[in-house]
Amino acid sequence: MLGRLSGAGLRRLRSAIAGAGPVASAFGSGGKAFGTSALAASTNSHDVFNTHRDAPDNNRETEFDFTPANYKIANEIISRYPPNYKQSAVIPLLDLAQQQYGGWLPLAALNRVAAVLDMPEIRVYEVATFYTMFNRSKVGRYHVMVCGTTPCMLQGSREVSKAISDHLGIGVGSTTKDGLFTLGEMECMGCCVNAPMIAVADYSNGVEGFSYNYYEDLTPADAIRIVDMLKRGEKPKLGSQYRSKAEPVGAVQSGKWVGYESVGETTLAGKPSGPYCRDLDAVVLEEAKK
Ligand code: FES
């Protein structure tokens, strides 16, 4: 990813490395969304989704069981592990339960997984609250997760998140009144080369119809277009919005897609401005002289 960083992203990274201020301030160009107070107010969505709060539909009395079809899948998953290590299936089984239950895990689902795997309930709670892909509260039909890790942040993920938040009228960790969208955030989703990106999970069609799609190289306007298309029941282009894969033809810069001929200095096409690594050849020569 760093090889592809360009323009504004590159300047921000240099600024942060050079000690121009805390890393958070390197992203702030005066926009309210980047201020320290805004960061503090914008609660990490995982704090919202991963904490258990007793509710009428989420307590010790609530019931959950896998469907017969999903028990078949669960048993197939469990068969991949030695019988004395079947607890290793806890993550895929929680994932299965979440897909079956419309995108979140009530206490009853955690307890069911514990029973199926013969493991203490508390061990399942620990896993479900540690891994951020598990939701402990209801989410909308589309769980829109904006990647907030450094490469995506440097390429404009905060602007993308703010654009979606303003457009849908919800904050991070909230769901639209029509139950269609929940805005969340996620750490690196392994797609840094096409930063910034979002993932959208659709939990409305059970395990068979579950989808988890990536939309990459996003400008704020692209993010809004994708959300609107989903709302209309259309299928936005998957992957990069501007290239076929990750070929070096451009980058999102200051909220716009820019071809490489106009990007200016990059760590790929331009001469890096340093600080440089020490001259290793000279070091070797010095060593040889001794
Ligand atoms: S930082 Fe966003 S995908 Fe890696």
Cα 57 to Cα 53: distance, rounded to the nearest angstrom: 10
- Is 280 within a domain? no
Cα 129 to averaged position of ligand 1 atoms, centre (Å): 22
Q: What is the pLDDT of residue 191?
A: 94
* Closest ligand 1 atom to Cα of 195: 2
Instruction: Determine the structural domain holding residue 80 and report its residue range.
Output: 52-130
Atom of ligand 1 nearest to the CA of 189: 3
* 38 and 58 inside one domain: no
Q: Which atom of ligand 1 is nearest to the CA of 150?
A: 1
Q: Does pLDDT of 281 surpass 60?
A: yes
Average pLDDT for residues 184-201, to the nearest whole number? 94
What is the identity of the amino acid at 217?
D
Instruction: For residues 208 and 227, state if they share a domain.
Output: yes
The confidence band for 26, taking pLDDT boundaries of 50, 70 and 90, is: very low
Say how far residue 32 (Cα) sits from the centre of its chain: 22
Does residue 253 have a pLDDT over 60? Answer: yes
Residue 56, pLDDT above cutoff 80: yes
Q: How confident is the model at residue 23 (pLDDT cuts 50, 70, 90)?
A: very low
Calculate how far, in angstroms, residue 81's C-alpha sits from the geometric centre of ligand 1: 31
Query: Is residue 39 situated within a structural domain?
Result: yes
Same domain, 175 and 198: yes
59 in Cβ contact with 107 (< 8 Å): yes
- In this prediction the pTM is 0.76
Cα 143 to ligand 1 centroid, rounded to whole Å: 17
> HSE (CB half, 13 Å, CA atoms) of 13?
24
- Residue 152 sits in the same domain as residue 247: yes
Residue 168 exposed, middle or buried by CB count within 10 Å (0-12, 13-18, 19+): buried
3-state secondary structure of 32: helix
Report the pLDDT value the prediction gives residue 20, as an integer from 0 to 100: 37
Q: Is residue 60 assigned to a domain? A: yes
As a whole number, mean pLDDT of residues 277-283 equals 71
Q: How confident is the model at residue 267 (pLDDT cuts 50, 70, 90)?
A: low
Considering the domain architecture, whether residues 161 and 252 belong to the same structural domain is answered as yes
Is position 276 within any domain? Answer: no
Please, are residues 94 and 65 in contact by the beta-carbon 8 Å criterion? no
Q: Looking at residue 35, what is its pLDDT?
A: 31
Whether 152 and 218 map to the same domain: the answer is yes
Ligand 1 mutation target, pool 154, 188, 213, 252, most atoms within 8 A of CB: 188
DSSP 143-172: EEEEE-SHHHHHTTHHHHHHHHHHHHT--T
pLDDT at residue 247 in the model? 86
Q: With 80 as the cut, is the pLDDT of residue 37 above it? A: no
CA dist., res. 223 & res. 163, Å (int): 7
What's the pLDDT tens digit per position in 127-168? 998 888 899 888 999 999 999 999 999 999 999 999 999 999
34-38, 160-164, 199-203, 238-242: the lowest-pLDDT one: 34-38
Residue 270 forms part of a structural domain: no
| Sign of the torsion angle spanned by Cα atoms 89, 92, 95, 97 | negative
- Mutation to probe ligand 1, out of 13, 154, 192 (largest number of atoms < 8 A from CB): 192
Query: What pLDDT, on the 0 to 100 scale, is given for residue 271?
Result: 64
Q: Is residue 272 part of a domain?
A: no
Helix (H, G, I), strand (E, B) or coil at 180: coil
The answer to whether residues 36 and 172 belong to one domain is yes
For residue 273, the model assigns a pLDDT of 66
Of the candidates 146, 156, 161, the one whose C-alpha atom is nearest the C-alpha of residue 258 is 156
* Domain end residue (candidates: 130, 161, 181): 130
What residues does ligand 1 touch, defined as CB less than 6 Å away?
Answer: 147, 149, 151-152, 188-192, 195, 197
Residues 198 and 147 sit within 8 Å (Cβ to Cβ): yes
Q: What are phi and psi of 175, to 5 degrees?
A: -120, 140
Same domain, 168 and 251: yes
CATH code (residue 157)? 3.40.30.10
* 246, 185: one domain: yes
- For residue 213, the CA-to-ligand 1 centroid distance in Å is 14
Residue 265 in this model has a pLDDT that exceeds 80 = no
Same domain, 24 and 89: no
Same domain, yes or no, for 248 and 147? Answer: yes
- Give residue 241 CA to ligand 1 midpoint distance, Å: 16
Q: Does 182 have pLDDT greater than 50?
A: yes
C-alpha distances out from residue 221 to 128, 166, 172, 184, 231, Å: 34, 12, 18, 18, 15
**Predicted confidence (pLDDT) at residue 105 exceeds the cutoff of 80:** yes
Asked, for residue 126, whether it belongs to a domain, the answer is yes
| CATH code at position 106 | 1.10.10.1590
